[in-house]
């Protein structure tokens, strides 16, 4: 594959259009990242996406790209509303897996010697692990309200306040959700899981602002050096997984019905405006809203855990939402194509929206600086806060990376962890981790991921995001 890559610049490579590709594929990366990127099938998947009907511009892959279901994780693709398609593989199984960043009025010295208490309180308050269930008991009617109202349902029921909603993508409620398109099995799976972290790479991380790169923008986001922060990373749990599974079966039939060429059956899809496409969009939006509500509940319990661990009141902690982004989602958006505004169906799978300054979808309080972009790393290194740029609007349909990106499979990580105490290794670095199983610790070990600093440097070098601050972990809970 490397011999087929054309270097556009130091941060961008292109796979030329060949065979049944309708557009070229583009990979954002530095040269020293290519070995990892080319070590799995992800670049081939980016090529396959370029074969789908109605794709506009390019099939994009971000520097955190790795192999996924159908689309590569780290993939971005926009499709024409009339001629293009919608594909569950372009959203992923964990619909609206995303990241919320919380800031506090606490500084690092305020929590010195208390991190274990905070992490233990978080672990006790937030259900985590495979199949975990939460304390919220939903009736069938309430669950459908969650699927249409998202985080607004949580706030209306006492989990947070109205100010939280202003700092969430789509204000925490994606329009177009149709709960009736969600199967009974998916509803059953989601009913007991609202307010849970889940397993795998999901986490709640307590950290601090280790470095500020842009003082002015950081101040607008309410961030300052040595400030205590919290990152919440989770998604739509079993409900979203089941929605994806259900519609993959639907889309396999739809692809045959509409005569869509699939270089890989995992790219099964339907025309955006078809009945199958519209049903998926309605069910997906319901899954998106479940995830928004899920992170809102976890935020509420995070606030309570901090106050309990520190014996402090809400005014002392003053935990506020900086922003929340989705990174497994498809959206109908307007972008310039050949100089004209055009509505497109934009898939972002393991990729983050990065709208630039002035865009009406950016909250008014941030509109002049661009949308905040939250990039979590692994539990042993760093996470980053960035903002979107005009260049991202021109080049990537307002998209950027979403995290560090795996370099080791879970199986390989488990093998590498044998005979090691990852808990002790992280504690020696000043990071207290509490997980529901040793297997999760091993699968999510820091070396299973790329160095997120390299990923962030690549998107910043390409001009599709601007670095604002770097966060360093002090304590983490994992499923």
- Helical ranges in 349-450 per DSSP H: 390-395, 410-416, 422-428, 438-443
pLDDT given at position 3: 53
Domains in the chain: how many in total?
1
pLDDT band at 132 (very low <50, low <70, confident <90, very high): confident
Catalytic hit among 66, 117, 335, 402: 402
Phi, psi values for residue 208, rounded to 5°: -145, 160
Q: pLDDT tens digits, residue range 399-429? A: 999 999 988 888 999 999 898 899 899 999 9
CA-based angle 295:298:303, to the nearest 5? 125
Q: What is the mean pLDDT of residues 234-253?
A: 98
Percent of the chain whose pLDDT exceeds 70: 99
pLDDT confidence of 2, banded at 50, 70, 90? Answer: low
Distance in angstroms (rounded) separating the CA atoms of residues 241 and 244 = 5
455 torsion bin: left (phi>0), alpha (psi -120 to 50), beta (else): alpha
Considering the chain, what percentage of its residues have pLDDT values greater than 90?
A: 89
Q: What is the pLDDT of residues 424-447, one digit of tens each?
A: 999 999 999 999 888 888 888 888
Q: Give the domain CATH number at 243.
A: 3.90.1860.10
- What proportions of the chain, in percent to the nearest 5, are helix, strand and coil? 40, 25, 35
Residue 128 confidence (pLDDT): 85
The two counts, helices (H) then strands (E), for the chain are 17, 19
Has 300 been annotated as catalytic?
no
Residue 216 sits in which domain range? 2-478
**pLDDT at 1 > cutoff 70:** no
Please give the distance of CA 8 from its chain centroid, rounded to a whole number. Answer: 27
pTM value surpassing 0.85: yes
């Amino acid at each position: 594959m490397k011999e087929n890559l054309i270097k556009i610049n130091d941060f961008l490579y292109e796979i030329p259009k060949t065979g049944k590709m309708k557009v070229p594929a583009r990979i954002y990366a530095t040269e020293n990242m290519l070995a990892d990127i080319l070590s799995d099938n992800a670049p081939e998947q980016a090529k396959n996406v370029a074969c789908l009907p109605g794709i506009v511009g390019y099939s994009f892959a971000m520097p955190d790209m790795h192999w996924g279901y159908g689309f590569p994780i780290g993939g971005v693709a926009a499709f024409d509303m009339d001629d293009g398609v919608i594909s569950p593989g372009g959203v992923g199984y964990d619909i609206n897996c995303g990241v919320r960043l919380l800031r506090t009025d606490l500084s690092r010295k305020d929590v010195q010697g208390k991190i274990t208490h905070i992490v233990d309180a978080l672990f006790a308050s937030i259900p985590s692990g495979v199949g975990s269930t939460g304390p919220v008991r939903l009736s069938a009617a309430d669950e459908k309200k969650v699927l249409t109202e998202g985080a607004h349902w949580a706030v209306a029921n006492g989990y947070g306040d109205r100010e939280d909603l202003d700092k969430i993508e789509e204000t925490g409620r994606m329009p177009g959700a149709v709960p009736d398109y969600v199967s009974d099995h998916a509803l059953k799976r989601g009913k007991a899981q609202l307010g849970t972290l889940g397993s795998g790479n999901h986490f709640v991380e307590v950290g601090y602002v280790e470095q500020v790169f842009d003082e002015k923008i950081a101040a607008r986001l309410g961030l300052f050096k040595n400030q205590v922060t919290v990152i919440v990373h989770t998604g739509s749990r079993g409900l979203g997984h089941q929605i994806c599974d259900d519609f993959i079966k639907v889309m396999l039939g739809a692809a045959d019905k509409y005569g869509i060429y699939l270089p890989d059956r995992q790219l099964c899809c339907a025309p955006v405006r078809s009945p199958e496409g519209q049903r998926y969009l309605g069910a997906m939006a319901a899954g998106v809203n479940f995830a928004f509500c899920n992170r809102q509940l976890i935020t509420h319990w995070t606030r309570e855990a901090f106050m309990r661990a520190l014996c402090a009141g809400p005014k002392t902690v003053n935990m506020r939402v900086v922003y929340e982004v989705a990174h497994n989602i498809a959206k109908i958006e307007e972008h310039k194509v050949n100089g004209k505004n055009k509505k497109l169906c934009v898939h972002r799978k393991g990729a983050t929206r990065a709208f630039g300054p002035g865009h009406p979808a950016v909250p008014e309080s941030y509109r002049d600086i661009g949308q905040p972009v939250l990039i979590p790393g692994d539990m042993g290194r760093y996470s980053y806060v960035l903002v979107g740029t005009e260049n991202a609007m021109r080049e990537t349909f307002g998209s950027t990376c979403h995290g560090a990106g795996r370099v080791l499979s879970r199986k390989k990580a488990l093998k590498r962890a044998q005979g090691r105490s990852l808990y002790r290794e992280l504690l020696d670095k000043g990071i207290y981790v509490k997980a529901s199983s040793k297997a999760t610790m091993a699968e999510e070990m820091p070396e299973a991921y790329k160095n997120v600093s390299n990923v962030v440097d690549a998107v910043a070098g390409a001009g599709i995001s601007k670095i604002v601050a770097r966060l360093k972990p002090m304590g983490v809970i994992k499923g």
